[in-house]
Chains A and B, each alone.
Chain A
Amino acid sequence: MKTLTAARPTAAEPVPRAKPRPRRHKGRTTAVWILVGPYALFLAVFGLAPAGYALWTSLVHDGSFSGGRNWAAVLDDYRLGEAAQNVTTYLLIWLPVLLLTVLSLAFTLHARPGRVTGALQLVYYLPGAVTGSAAALLWLFMVSPDSSPFGPLLKLMDVKTATDALSGGSLITVLAVMGVAVHAGGWIVVLYGALTALPRDVLEAAQVDGASAWRTMWHIKLPLVRTYVAFVLISSFASGSQVFVEPTVLSTGAPGQISPTWSVNQLAYVYATQDGDFGKAAALSLAMLAVGLLAAWIVISRTGMYATDSTKAG
């Protein structure tokens, strides 16, 4: 199951250029590998080997090499187009709303840190902590106008029953709102943590300057945490394009209402489980990986994350 922590690429590629490194040293190399070796081993065994094997399975059919056969079959699957369309729409709604929510809440919290900020962060984190079948129950009732505390709001949207909420155009809104509720809290914690770690002298100087809270945020704080924002963006893009939990959870609550292959990742999951077709599952997963990496690369180069860091370090 994918939680907000499951897919989190990171912004920190920049480092290599950050600083001239201390000269390599023979005795040091041993120490280095003693410290990083175990992780490297796990990376090889539980990361690279499975990924490599997945690539291999995606190219094999019935035990023999078949080139692009699985890939072609996946691209040809009548469910893929609809799923890709669903995911795209979802991303277009969810990603901006999520970013806006995370940024505005983290900055507003940080504008005047007080005793309640910790408690508020906990509250924002709450929906993300409910998972699995209990989440199915929770969200089924949240979208049922008659028994939901959000009932009046749903009725405003002309949603009369949970069936209404989960069909047609309202489904994507429900999923996006749910996705924001589930994912925002974790990122607020990360971003708020980054803000509190900012050097105090810079912020104090801004206050002495008499800059307004808004100006401080926009011109001082935001640039300082821009790598983190890029980090949130890359990770959220990956997890959004691999959306799985939200539609699955809702369809557990109201079976038969949402297509089991509503999202691309769900389709990959159906290949791997119900169909027992690991070749197709691997091919589709690798395609999703490629999309995530592409987005990561665009964000990194567009935001000039590398440059920022080397200037900062230099």
Chain B
Amino acid sequence: MSRIATCFAALAEQGRKALIPFVTAGDPVPSVTVPLMHAMVEAGVDVIELGMPFSDPMADGPVIQLACERSLAGGTTLLRVLEMVTEFRRDNDHTPVVLMGYLNPVEAMGYEVFAERAAKAGVDGVLLVDLPPEEAESLAPLFDQHGLDRVFLLAPTTTEARMQIIAAAGTGYLYYVSLKGVTGSGALNVDEVAAKVETIRKHAKLPIGVGFGIKDAASARAISRVADGVVVGSALVQRIADHADEPEKIPAQVSQLLAEMRAAMDESE
């Protein structure tokens, strides 16, 4: 069983939900990322989504755009991101790591080389925002071959017919984008999310993570009641931005928010 499947199975057994942070690798400097990953695990996260920076992050709001700019300005490349995962794996063999980003840097490296290097580094899954299942046909077998899970997005606009396509194409978990908009925008409507997650469950057996618009302990708790995983990104990345001038403080700052979310999610009803 893959690390991701093992992780979700164990959580289900305990009746707990996955806390899934997103941070951009190399933001604001490369040296922060691995200590930050370990600190987040300490704070109680279950899966780490690690952003591969891209110059033109079309689906992201200003917070993550700026994170990409800081990371690229600091010299972070896709190869460097993979090295960070290798380094993380020296001290952590259990926390799944999912790379998240845009297709072009992966194309530039080459699908085959990327899949091989990612697997070797200890990556467990890949989510490419601008790669819907229809365009993933040549990449999917390579990911299978190297044991990488294919995480796909679902959105409020996704029809039931497409849910079936996406559920069939995805492995590991599914990522439901809770609102129409870019990352870090809008207000969360938990009832709408709950209804949509119910519909997705009719078509998919995979665990469902929900992201976009979760910014504090209360929203994390609310989403944990309706989904299998809670993804939090911009709220963490904003904390990183606030401390970009004193990066040594970043792991503690980010962990503090995650620990609050963890506690709220684990509270009994």
A and B from one complex: no
Contacts from B to A (Cβ < 8 Å): none
Contacts from A to B (Cβ < 8 Å): none
